[in-house]
Amino acid sequence: MNIHEYQAREILTAHGVPVPPGVVATTPEEVERAAQQFGSTVVVKAQVHAGGRGKAGGVKLAKSPAEAKDVAGKILGMRIKDLPVEKVLVAPAEDIASEAYVGMILDRASKRVVVMVSREGGVDIEEVAAMNPDAIRKLAVDPRYGLLPYQAYSLAVSLYDDIRQQRACAKILQQLYAAFLSSGASLAEINPLVTTPDGEVKALDAKFNIDDNELFRRPDIEALRDTSGEPEAEIQAREAGLTFIKLDGNIGACVNGAGLAMATMDLIKFYGGEPANFLDIGGSSNPEKVVNALRIITADPNVKVICFNIFGGITRCDDVANGIVTATQRIKIDVPIVIRLTGTNEDAALEILKNAGFSATTSMDEVVQKAVELAGAGK
């Protein structure tokens, strides 16, 4: 899950990281009042789950409250990477002497949290990694001991020459590590970490991604979820315990298991069709899930055919068959449904479907070819 910059700043502040003041606003008038309150040049920043906000025109300086109101009017309501901007962060513009990068990620290769620091702050760290990898220092944190003070200090020394700034940065790194753990992050970045002309070290911008698997035990973090800009169907799917991603095609896919769901999308494309979605009904044996899945798929007007691909293991085929029958009784489905079922309780499932007037196959290739044909595409 992504959270906004202003939310990330609140997490950092709660852990003691020095963050300049800021106000979240949803109207130009609120922005104007905030700018009056700060009484200085302010920066108005779009709060949206997309990178490249600055380049897209979503970050602007304003020298007066009137100008702040004016730029806020332009930013609020604009779309960045197709996401609507509904909130902005207003903060006093800082005098900046230097910009550095500090970040932490859950690293699959080392199987640890890796801390990364670079003197080249304020730019995309992926760009630095590609152009000048030597400019990034990395440290894999041993989970047995956490980020040790000397390690944090050693990283800080690579960023700053002044002892006060080195100490301030080391402290910030340890605070960021604590924030990472307590929020269940998979990524936490302060970019840029700035120094001001009078020598202070401050976090000017922050980005946190949260590991979805953490949310069950962190209701305070789950509460930060912003669903604006998220397709309605994906929100409904999440609430129904399904994994759904909308795509642009016309073949609605309903599959159990993420790997098989991806392979089904690929096979649809292989036979010349276009998938309308990725949908994993998961490993549960609940017919209600199938009903919800069909409701979500059929809400997409592009869908011309629905293709089930179920390999029963922990999922029982008869439960899926019952779900299909129940769904077609409860909701009006105008498009054809093609079904592949095999595995646990396959015979019972085929019987249930036959009695309800459906036919089913046990071959994945066959069902996908049929779906592509019915969608009016294909080789």
Partner 1 sequence: MSIFIDENTKLLVQGITGRDGSFHARQMMEYGTQVVGGVTPGKGGQTFEGPDGRSCPIFDTMEQAVAATGANASVIYVPPAFAADAIMEAAGAGVPFIVAITEGVPVLDMTRVYAYVQDAGVRLLGPNCPGLLSPGKSKVGILPGQIATPGPVGVVSRSGTLTYEVVYQLTNAGIGQSTCVGIGGDPINGTNFIDCLEAFENDPETKAVVMIGEIGGTDEQQAAEFVSSRMTKPVVGFIAGQTAPPGRRMGHAGAIISGSEGTAAEKIETFERNGIGVAKKPSDVVGLIQAVL
User: Which of the residues are catalytic?
Assistant: 101, 189
User: Does residue 270 belong to the site contacting partner 1 (CB under 8 A)?
Assistant: yes
Residues that contact partner 1, how many (by CB under 8 A): 50
* For partner 1, the closer CB: 121 or 257: 257
Selected from 174, 256, 277, 298, the binder of partner 1 by CB under 8 A is 256
* For partner 1, the closer CB: 217 or 332: 217
- Residues 338 to 357: which contact partner 1 by CB under 8 A? 342-344
- Asked if 100 contacts 192 with a C-beta cutoff of 8 angstroms, the reply is yes
User: Does residue 66 belong to the site contacting partner 1 (CB under 8 A)?
Assistant: no
User: Does residue 22 belong to the site contacting partner 1 (CB under 8 A)?
Assistant: no
**Residue whose structure tokens are 């089930």:** 308
Q: Which stretch binds partner 1 (CB under 8 A): 131-139, 157-165, 254-262, 290-298?
A: 254-262
Residues whose CB falls within 8 Å of the CB of residue 172, separated by 6 or more in sequence, listed in order: 17, 18, 102, 190, 193, 201, 203
Tell me the two tokens of residue 170. Answer: 């080391």
User: Does residue 113 belong to the site contacting partner 1 (CB under 8 A)?
Assistant: yes
* For partner 1, the closer CB: 65 or 323: 323
* For partner 1, the closer CB: 24 or 141: 141
Distance CA 349, CA 360 (A): 9
User: Does residue 143 belong to the site contacting partner 1 (CB under 8 A)?
Assistant: yes
Q: How long, in residues, is the chain?
A: 379
Q: Closest by alpha carbon to 255, among 275, 278, 231, 232? A: 278
Distance CA 134, CA 313 (A): 48
Instruction: Report phi then psi at 372, rounded to 5.
Output: -65, -40
* For partner 1, the closer CB: 157 or 247: 247
The per-residue DSSP string of 164-190 comes to HHHHHHHHHHHHHHHHHHHHTEEEEEE
Element of type H or E holding 151: helix 149-159
Given the rule CB under 8 A, which residues bind partner 1? 106, 108-109, 111-113, 126, 142-144, 181, 184, 186, 211-214, 216-217, 243, 245, 247, 255-263, 265-270, 275, 278, 280, 283, 311-314, 342-344, 364-365
